[in-house]
Amino acid sequence: MSKTSAVRIGLIQMTCGDHPDRNLDRSISRIREAADEGAQVICLQEVFNMQYPCQAEEHSRFELAESIPGPTTIALQKIAKERSIVIVVPLFEKRTHGLYHNSAAVVDADGSIVGLYRKMHIPDDPLYYEKFYFTPGDLGFLAFPTKYAKIGVCICWDQWYPEAARLTAMHGAELLFYPTAIGWIPGERAEYGVSQYSAWQTMMRSHAIANGLYVGASNRVGVEGEIQFWGGSFMADPYGNVLSQATHDGEENVVVSCDLSLINTARTHWPFFRDRRIDAFGDLQKRWCD
């Protein structure tokens, strides 16, 4: 457990244009604004410096990917060191020719990269053709020590899997971030919009409760192609309470204080880790129990 009890968290919710360099510059401005509000740990949205690339299967879009470390991480490492902040940097990672991941680097307050997470669960749905672009992650579910807290990262589609949150927590995560690109496809918002967002947020709030940690989701917003990204970035405490939530219809920084001592309180009063029947969970490694 971190020695620091109170940590200020910032979630950046943005629209994205066609030019990665401009998106990076705007993100840096947003990061500075959050830092000015006292944010010490800041999470950007999924593949934050570009429009979501997976609405169609286009080979030319692989040119958007970059290495880690690379130009974008180097730029944000400088900002992290300058402002003494931790930044979660989600990127379209080029590992080598023909091998790409949906990844997130964790940059510590001294400017060093202390961790890398590669998205484990890769969807293939209408307008979310990620299997064409991304190889499933091979690093597992991890947590990384930083100046202010131990940080775990999962990405978007990982949100729906309790096992991912549990394993990240078991590595000691105090803060679990979900950089995200999720929204409504054409014609769905009016009929299904409220229930879809509610399911999405409820799932992550349940991860906070079941694992006794803070959970934050940083989602993009605005219309890109056919998707209306629903924003609604939020931070939840270890009891699942929503501490702050962004709008659905515009850019916004969510900055909130998190008392890390509440993790101990929640886990000792609701001792789910104590009572887990790990001897009976072997079937979780099967696809289905016939």
- Residue 26 DSSP one-character state: H
> What's the pLDDT score for residue 5?
87
Start-to-end C-alpha separation, the chain: 41
* pLDDT for residue 1: 55
* DSSP per residue, 41-78: EEEPPTTTTS--GGGS--GGGGGG-B-SSSHHHHHHHH
Catalytic choice (54, 154, 156, 258): 156
- Catalytic: which of 16, 43, 46, 130? 46
Largest CA distance in the chain: 56
**Domain locations in the chain?**
6-275
**Both structure tokens of 193:** 């919009």
Beta bridge partners of 193: none
Residues facing 88 on adjacent strands: 43, 106
Whether 66 is catalytic is no
Residue range 271-280: average pLDDT? 97
Give the 3-state secondary structure percentages of the chain, helix then strand then coil, rounded to 5.
35, 30, 35
pLDDT digits (tens, 9 = 90+) for 25-41: 999 999 999 999 999 99
| Nearest of 204, 239, 238, 240 to residue 219 by alpha carbon | 204
Catalytic-residue membership of 119: yes
- Residues 45-70 have pLDDT tens digits of 999 999 999 999 999 999 999 999 99
Give SS3 for 224: strand
SS3 232: coil
Taking residues 220-231, what's their average pLDDT? 97
**Known catalytic residue at 46:** yes
Does the structure show a pLDDT above 70 at 101? yes
Q: Of 43, 54, 93, 119, which one is the catalytic site residue?
A: 119
Global model pTM greater than 0.95: yes
> Do 67 and 115 contact (CB within 8 A), yes or no?
no
Class of domain 6-275: alpha beta
